[in-house]
Amino acid sequence: MARMAANLTYLFTELPMLQRFAAARRAGFDGVEILFPYDLASKDLVKAAQTEGMEFVLMNTPPPNWAGGPRGFAAKPGGEARFRSDFDRAMRFANVMKVRHLHVMAGRAKGPAARQTLIENLKWAAARAPQQSLTIEPINTRDNPGYYLDSFELAAEIVAEVGAPNLGLQFDAYQAQMIHGHVMPLWEQLAPLARHVQIAGCPGRHEPSSGSFDFTGFLRALEASNYDGWIGAEYLPSTSTSAGIDWLRSA
């Protein structure tokens, strides 16, 4: 049975970050995602997680300059040195925190050179950290204009071409529905590549039980495919996190 992880970048934001671990545990989560943990000391994050008996499931690279800044450098021609520097910094955090998956962000780029740059950077990263599970995630260009990795087919091609055993697909059901208009057929096709799953309602990226996303049907599809990894709750609460958490109790 898949386990649920709270994305603390999105959830329980009414609390300081280090207090969100306890709130997530009380709500019924077993693990956490933190997209960009770099503004806090890793030892403090580890202590907060250990106190609640929670696992760090996912974090992102690179360190952020998120407000109007880059969305990663992995696919940006000429950005190789920045990508490698960011990756090494991310791995220092990931090693201390024992993060299960590190999401490598492609960034904004286009054209054949971007594809080759992404492939070469992922090959380098996979060899640089052979014991670390790495993921790539397609992200829709309505929310993130210009993001290079903008389809699940492209992501599957990149994973296959890199051919590294520690690289897989991050299957975000919200992104699947935003990009392709459906989730189930993509999951049936790509489940063998999936290392991590994320959920949110669509449209709006609110609670997984909201919008047109068939949350319970997707959970059944995960179970039918014998997916036994984590499911990350990466959504924007429509009010407070606690007020909209009933979906988790029915999962």
Supply the range of the domain harboring residue 139.
Answer: 3-249
In angstroms, the CA 106 to CA 214 distance is 28
Q: What is the pTM of this model?
A: 0.96
**228-238 average pLDDT score:** 98
In angstroms, the CA 166 to CA 90 distance is 16
Q: Are strands 167-172 and 133-136 parallel, antiparallel or unpaired?
A: parallel
Instruction: Yes or no: say if 244 and 10 are a contact pair by the CB < 8 Å rule.
Output: no
Burial of 228 (0-12, 13-18, 19+ CB in 10 A): exposed
In angstroms, the CA 97 to CA 59 distance is 10
Confidence of residue 249 (pLDDT cuts 50, 70, 90): confident
Sign of CA dihedral 76, 81, 82, 88: positive
- In degrees and rounded to multiples of 5, residue 33 shows phi and psi of -115, 140
Question: What would the pLDDT profile of 93-147 be if each residue is shown by its tens digit?
Answer: 999 999 999 999 999 999 999 999 999 999 999 999 999 999 999 999 999 999 9
Question: What would the pLDDT profile of 154-172 be if each residue is shown by its tens digit?
Answer: 999 999 999 999 999 999 9
Which are the catalytic amino acids?
Answer: 137, 234
Query: How many other β-carbons are positioned within 10 Å of the β-carbon of residue 209?
Result: 17
Task: Assign residue 211 the CATH number of its domain.
Answer: 3.20.20.150
**C-alpha atoms less than 13 angstroms from C-alpha of 152 in its C-beta half-sphere:** 25
Nearest to 31 by CA among 245, 232, 239: 232
SS3 at position 60 = strand
Nearest to 218 by CA among 231, 236, 205: 231
Q: Are strands 55-61 and 101-104 parallel, antiparallel or unpaired?
A: parallel
The reported pLDDT for the residue numbered 68 is 56
Residue 1 has pLDDT above 70, yes or no: no
Q: Which amino acid is at 71?
A: R
* Percent of residues in the chain assigned helix, strand, coil, to nearest 5: 40, 20, 40
Question: What would the pLDDT profile of 42-71 be if each residue is shown by its tens digit?
Answer: 999 999 999 999 999 999 997 666 555 677
Site of tokens 């309602």: 201
**Cα→Cα distances 26→21, 23, 128, 150, Å:** 9, 5, 37, 36
Within 7-137, residue ranges assigned H as helices are 17-27, 42-52, 80-97, 112-128
Count of domains forming the chain:
1
Residue 233 has pLDDT above 90, yes or no: yes
